[in-house]
Structure 1
Amino acid sequence: MILCLSWVASVAQADRLKDIASVAGVRPNQLVGYGLVVGLDGTGDKTSFTSQTFRNMLNNFGVAIPADQNPSSKNIAAVAIHAELPAFAKPGQTIDITVSAIGDAKSLRGGSLLMSPLKGADGQVYALAQGNLVVSGFGAEGRDGSRLSVNVPSVGRIPNGATVERSVPNGFAQGDSLMLNLHHADFTTARRVAEQINGLLGPEMASAMDAATIRVRAPRDPSQRVSYLSVLENLEVEPAEEVARVIINSRTGTIVIGQNVRISPVAITHGGMTVSITESFDVSQPGPLSEGQTVVTPRTGIEVDEGSGHMFEFAPGATLQDIVEAVNQVGAAPGDLMAILEALKQAGALRAELVVI
């Protein structure tokens, strides 16, 4: 395990408003659909729902299949389609889509998606998808059952593979105010945003509603509102300092320490214990003229080494960096540092939020 410590710098830096906040109501929407991919080279599926979909498609084109026949082909595959409809997307524009096999299809490489509707959460059709798939993965299979797969061949993308048919209404041009939502809720940052806007546009133009929302008065005319918002989103605001937090990834040994992490007066000792278990065998050989038998006797040896404990004492106001440097000087492992941090939190000496992922 490799120990990696990341220290978050505490240097104040102004950020653009567009980087720390978004306009309420201006958001993408998720779309999902179901369709058929055809033209596969024997890597499709033969599931019942694929055959049913294929039969329904042929019936729509006037091709009648006898009821006692079950159409199936390894050159087709049933797929799920999902996409993200951006805010302000208009009919006629195109969006990227992702196509994923939902049956036992081995690969979608070389396939073409037939026209499929994409629906939103309200059940309405917002886009139509169709096109040739781009699949980065591939696989090969031998007659003895051995298989080789690179990446995921059962998922592909179609750039500009869907055409928007319906726009999503939003409240951007409604009312006499705009709501700005901070990406990270913080009372200090919300107050600073309101003060910066009021300093630019005049008093009482903006007010912080809570830790995440700032209400800004705006013109009713949509064209003027666009110009108005373009000025606001480039306004630079100095965000407040984040909450003191220590993040521990127990799987990789990564420890991320935020700013303002402090330690109460505390003394720390951390010793190691090593238990060694060895197995050996003794052979008991009888005398040359005796009637005894050779016997093999196992022998177990156990050794316990408690090691040498190291004591560290820290004065009031010590930072976590002081502890990390002291622990690293004695060559402690990442697991030792994690154990110390958890013990400090339990003792109430770590003045920060401890998050283990």
Structure 2
Amino acid sequence: MTRIRFPSLSLFLTVLALVAGLVSAPAAQAERIKDLGSFQGVRPNQLTGYGIVVGLAGTGDDSLDYSTQGMKGMISRFGLTLPAGVNPSLKNSAAVMVTAELPAFSKPGQRLDVTVSAIGKAKSLRGGTLVLTPLRGADGQIYAMAQGSLAVGGLGVTGADGSHLSVNVPSAGRIPGGATVERTVATGFDTAPQLDFNLAEADLTTALRVADAINIAFGDKRARAVDAVTVSIAAEAGAEQRILMMGLIENIEVKPADAPAKVIVNARSGTVVINGAVRISPAAISHGKLTVAVQESPRVVQPAPFSAGQTAVEQSSALSVTEEKKPMISFKGGASLADIVKAVNAIGATPSDMVEILQALKQAGAMKAELVVL
């Protein structure tokens, strides 16, 4: 017996009910300004470098050209030169890319965590050691130097017959505190004519509220909203004065604007997320539930005695379709998320059904919300 049914509704309704409970709560809670965005120029920078990992147990790159060139370059730094035409066997070493993130205001001597990833055919970096590698920024300048033993969480095993087993990813690892900062990144925040605070999410109302909160806290008109993202703040020259002002501004509490009405739908998994700002105009919904059953009953057919026939299997199929009738649900104007949850529960819609219902409401103009289908 084969039955085609939609997924269970219990988990979907539980999640929606929890979200619906937020409708009665305050629309938005006060947040610190530092949680809403960041000051322009005060940000981390990405660093990258090309290096060689040595000390591997025969799981390296072997004789790849770029690995061989990298090894020759490393050896030459120690005053050694390989004979012409001689290429080292690199089964115990691998060419890697090294990446790190340089936080704002990092000073020379501070330590950074680095990630090391194989770029060749190395099977595993377990047990390897990264040789001294310069890490460069987007401007091509060296900002840190990396070196150290790798911590690899993955494991790879290869059998004599060529079979291979991997746990996690053995071709990548990390070196905690494996890089040392060598150069400071100039942020320019202490010499710029003004400070700009950028919101993480663009919103005109939130930008205006941030500017107003700063002006109220300092008792003047130093802050103004430039656009939906940027709040420009007049500041005195000098790093000490600006750091003091920035620290005070970060801890001012602001009530951000309510999020716009939005419905997120994942059509592949049937996940539906509706925020509390969604409202439904007057509409009526009727949705049926269809079940298709396929019953297979094959039987063996024997030929008559002393005949030339052969034993065969005769297929016997029984198909049935059952459609469960559901009542029509009517939404009054301004229906909230809680009303939607109740209606979904009443008609027994599954997450997949809900996707179709929401799309139909949007097409009918009854749902004034952005519908995002993933």
Residue 4 of structure 2 corresponds to: none
| Residue 37 (1) aligns with residue 49 (2) | no
- C-alpha distance in 1, partners of 2:310/2:183? 92
**Is the contact made by 1:107 and 1:154 (CA closer than 8 Å) also made in structure 2?**
yes
Identity %: 55
- C-alpha distance in 1, partners of 2:98/2:311? 73
Identify the range of structure 1 (281-290 vs 321-330) with the bigger mean alpha-carbon deviation. 281-290
| Residue 179 (1) aligns with residue 202 (2) | no
Residue 317 of structure 1 corresponds to: 334
- Matched letter for residue 22 of structure 1: S
Aligned partner of residue 98 in structure 1, secondary structure = strand
- C-alpha distance in 2, partners of 1:286/1:117? 83
Residue 272 of structure 1 corresponds to: 289
Spell out, residue by residue over 1:309-336, the C-alpha distance to the aligned partner (whole angstroms, 9 max, x if none): 3311111111233222222244432211
After TM superposition, give the deviation of residue 168 of structure 1 in Å: 1.4
- Matched letter for residue 207 of structure 1: R
- C-alpha distance in 2, partners of 1:96/1:293? 74
Residue 308 of structure 1 corresponds to: 325
- Matched letter for residue 310 of structure 1: P
**Is the contact made by 2:199 and 2:229 (CA closer than 8 Å) also made in structure 1?**
yes
What's the C-alpha RMSD, in Å, of the aligned pairs?
A: 2.2
After TM superposition, give the deviation of residue 291 of structure 1 in Å: 7.2
Aligned partner of residue 344 in structure 1, secondary structure = helix
- C-alpha distance in 2, partners of 1:208/1:287? 94
- Matched letter for residue 32 of structure 1: T
- C-alpha distance in 2, partners of 1:345/1:216? 41
**Is the contact made by 1:266 and 1:349 (CA closer than 8 Å) also made in structure 2?**
yes
Which 5+ residue runs of structure 1 have no aligned equivalent? none
- C-alpha distance in 1, partners of 2:310/2:350? 51
- C-alpha distance in 2, partners of 1:93/1:43? 33
- C-alpha distance in 2, partners of 1:295/1:122? 77
**Is the contact made by 1:324 and 1:337 (CA closer than 8 Å) also made in structure 2?**
no
After TM superposition, give the deviation of residue 283 of structure 1 in Å: 6.1
What's the TM-score once normalised by structure 2's chain length? 0.88
Aligned partner of residue 263 in structure 1, secondary structure = coil
Number of residue pairs aligned between Structure 1 and Structure 2: 357
C-alpha spacing 1:316/1:64, structure 2 compared with 1 (3 Å):
same
**Is the contact made by 2:276 and 2:337 (CA closer than 8 Å) also made in structure 1?**
no
What's the TM-score once normalised by structure 1's chain length? 0.92
After TM superposition, give the deviation of residue 286 of structure 1 in Å: 6.3
C-alpha spacing 1:309/1:114, structure 2 compared with 1 (3 Å):
same
- Matched letter for residue 44 of structure 2: P
Residue 114 of structure 2 corresponds to: 97
| Residue 227 (1) aligns with residue 248 (2) | no
- C-alpha distance in 2, partners of 1:150/1:295? 49
**Is the contact made by 2:67 and 2:90 (CA closer than 8 Å) also made in structure 1?**
no
- Matched letter for residue 343 of structure 1: A
**Is the contact made by 1:194 and 1:206 (CA closer than 8 Å) also made in structure 2?**
yes
C-alpha spacing 1:173/1:143, structure 2 compared with 1 (3 Å):
same
- C-alpha distance in 2, partners of 1:233/1:217? 15
| Residue 7 (1) aligns with residue 23 (2) | no
Residue 196 of structure 1 corresponds to: 213
Identify the range of structure 1 (116-125 vs 277-286) with the bigger mean alpha-carbon deviation. 277-286
- C-alpha distance in 1, partners of 2:308/2:121? 70
**Is the contact made by 1:32 and 1:81 (CA closer than 8 Å) also made in structure 2?**
yes
After TM superposition, give the deviation of residue 63 of structure 1 in Å: 2.3
Which 5+ residue runs of structure 2 have no aligned equivalent? 1-6
Residue 90 of structure 2 corresponds to: 73
- Matched letter for residue 313 of structure 1: S
C-alpha spacing 1:267/1:125, structure 2 compared with 1 (3 Å):
same
After TM superposition, give the deviation of residue 290 of structure 1 in Å: 7.2
Aligned partner of residue 152 in structure 1, secondary structure = coil
- C-alpha distance in 2, partners of 1:134/1:292? 71
After TM superposition, give the deviation of residue 96 of structure 1 in Å: 1.1
Greater fraction strand: 1
After TM superposition, give the deviation of residue 102 of structure 1 in Å: 0.7
Identify the range of structure 1 (241-250 vs 274-283) with the bigger mean alpha-carbon deviation. 274-283
Residue 256 of structure 1 corresponds to: 273
